[in-house]
């Protein structure tokens, strides 16, 4: 098979690595005026202060942008780009989860290439130039620190748009597991499931390739073993470190392949109800796996084995049964609510959810061809799941 793999992001991983931020910036010569993008949770957890102190001490100026929302809005990205230009900044620093990193990527694009996010998606506006982006993830989930995409919601229509271009890859990713120690259990659970889905979908989708599969297989094993520990004991440094490594590997997996039907449904749900992305993935994962396994039994038996849920001695059907039971119980034990219990979810919206999921660019990447009717069936199956 022919394939290509490209990830120019410099990756620095390790306990306390964020303390070397100023030195790394100095080495990479990204400019003295920084634009810091952080969500309010990161600011209130006190994660930003030591970084700002370190940077100002080293002679950097830092312009703050803390208007990051869960499921980031295009309007905020446009406002951020304007602020970036007015302050004459050189590079962006994203501190936070996927929302902060995706907002920073979009600001970096709009500040240099102009326009609004929808133009890049609908009209094919050229991704001419971008400001440099440096990411310090504070959750283990999104993988956005190494991917070429940013998911932005159009405020007026609630539509989720995926900006996708090689230019969107950050220049530098600093992964310091110490930054994830204060993440609360429910966020640990949701972001961890997001990472797991990246690994599963990136490995099994129609556009996967050997390099993505290698990263994905390792990520699956690591996440499934570490996530329950990181959830139960947030101060478990080994579990936090394993999760951060797992989410990075999952990002390197799907970042050069794609996601698939779980994400298509999850993004539809997020568009309508602002559901946290990881929770939205979790409520659909077992049901999409059941659907996909019917069209790709041997591959899903293999997924069960990669996850450590089945052994070589288990036949394909048995392994798939163990996969569905194992994934459902993992999600249940992480305390993630059922679809029917999520705020705002109404049966009347199902046709719209189906349309949104079907229109998602990643629908053709699903390992088993999937129709509107299939999405509808999966949605109802997930909705009939009793409360956890």
The rounded distance, in Å, linking the Cα atoms of 96 and 90 is 20
Using the Cα atoms of residue 230, residue 39, residue 104 and residue 270 in order, give the sign of their dihedral: positive
Distance in Å, CB of 357 to Fe ion, minimum: 14
The rounded distance, in Å, linking the Cα atoms of 299 and 157 is 38
3-state secondary structure of 64: strand
Distance in Å, CB of 11 to Fe ion, minimum: 19
80/98 with CB nearer Fe ion: 98
Distance in Å, CB of 94 to Fe ion, minimum: 16
Distance in Å, CB of 88 to Fe ion, minimum: 34
194/374 with CB nearer Fe ion: 194
3-state helix, strand, coil split of the chain in percent (to 5) is 60, 10, 30
The rounded distance, in Å, linking the Cα atoms of 358 and 20 is 44
55/187 with CB nearer Fe ion: 187
Distance in Å, CB of 274 to Fe ion, minimum: 15
Q: Are the C-beta atoms of residues 194 and 277 closer than 8 Å to each other?
A: yes
The rounded distance, in Å, linking the Cα atoms of 62 and 65 is 10
Distance in Å, CB of 64 to Fe ion, minimum: 27
Distance in Å, CB of 385 to Fe ion, minimum: 21
Q: At what angle do helices 261-273 and 185-204 cross, to 10 degrees?
A: 140
Give the Cα-Cα-Cα angle 130, 133, 134 (nearest 5 degrees). 170
Nearest to 99 by CA among 139, 133, 50: 139
90/194 with CB nearer Fe ion: 194
Radius of gyration in angstroms for the set of CA atoms belonging to the chain, rounded to a whole number: 20
Distance in Å, CB of 277 to Fe ion, minimum: 6
39/194 with CB nearer Fe ion: 194
76/194 with CB nearer Fe ion: 194
* DSSP one-letter code for 387: P
25/141 with CB nearer Fe ion: 141
178/269 with CB nearer Fe ion: 269
Distance in Å, CB of 238 to Fe ion, minimum: 24
26/274 with CB nearer Fe ion: 274
Nearest to 56 by CA among 34, 37, 41, 29: 34
112/164 with CB nearer Fe ion: 164
Nearest to 37 by CA among 86, 120, 88, 106: 106
Binding residues (CB under 5 A) for Fe ion: these are: 194
Residues near 212 by beta carbon (within 8 Å), at least 6 away in sequence: 5, 202, 203, 252, 253, 254, 256, 257
Helix ranges, the chain (H): 21-28, 40-44, 48-57, 74-86, 98-113, 117-122, 185-204, 210-232, 237-254, 261-273, 277-295, 297-306, 316-333, 350-359, 372-383
Residue nearest to Fe ion (CB): 194
H helices, E strands: number in the chain:
15, 8
Q: How is 268-292 classified by DSSP, letter by letter? A: HHHHHH---HHHHHHHHHHHHHHHH
Distance in Å, CB of 284 to Fe ion, minimum: 12
């Amino acid at each position: 098979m022919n394939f290509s793999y490209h990830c120019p992001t410099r990756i620095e991983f390790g306990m306390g690595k964020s303390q070397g931020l100023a030195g790394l910036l100095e080495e990479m010569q990204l400019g003295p005026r920084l634009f810091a993008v952080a969500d309010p949770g990161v600011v209130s957890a006190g994660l930003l202060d030591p970084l700002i102190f370190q940077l100002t001490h080293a002679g950097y100026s830092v312009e703050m942008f803390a208007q990051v929302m869960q499921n980031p809005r295009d309007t905020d990205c446009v406002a951020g780009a304007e602020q970036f230009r007015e302050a004459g900044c050189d590079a962006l620093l994203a501190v936070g989860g996927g929302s902060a990193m995706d907002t920073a990527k979009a600001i970096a694009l709009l500040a240099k290439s102009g326009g609004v996010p929808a133009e890049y998606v609908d009209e094919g506006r050229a991704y001419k130039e971008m400001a440099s982006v440096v990411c310090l993830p504070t959750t283990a989930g999104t993988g956005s620190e190494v991917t070429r995409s940013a998911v932005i919601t159009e405020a007026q229509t609630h539509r989720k748009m995926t900006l996708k271009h090689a230019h969107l890859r950050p220049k530098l990713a600093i992964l310091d597991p110490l930054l994830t120690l204060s993440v609360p259990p429910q966020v640990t659970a949701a972001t961890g499931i997001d990472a797991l889905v990246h690994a599963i979908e990136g490995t099994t989708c129609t556009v996967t390739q050997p390099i993505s599969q290698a990263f994905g297989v390792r990520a699956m094993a690591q996440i499934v073993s570490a996530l329950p520990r990181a959830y139960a004991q947030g101060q478990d440094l080994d579990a936090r470190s394993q999760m951060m490594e797992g989410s990075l590997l999952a990002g390197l997996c799907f970042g050069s392949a794609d996601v698939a039907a779980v994400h298509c449904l999850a993004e539809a749900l997020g568009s309508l109800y602002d559901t946290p992305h990881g929770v939205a993935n979790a409520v659909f994962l077992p049901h999409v796996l059941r659907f996909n396994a019917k069209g790709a039994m041997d591959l899903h038996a293999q997924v069960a084995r990669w996850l450590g849920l089945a052994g070589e001695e288990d036949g394909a059907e048995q392994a798939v049964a163990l996969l569905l039971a194992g994934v459902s119980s993992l999600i249940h034990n992480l305390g993630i609510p059922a679809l029917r219990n999520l705020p705002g979810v109404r049966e009347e919206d199902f046709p719209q959810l189906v349309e949104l999921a079907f229109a998602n660019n990643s629908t053709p990447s699903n390992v088993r061809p999937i129709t509107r009717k299939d999405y509808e069936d999966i949605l109802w199956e997930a909705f009939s799941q009793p409360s956890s």
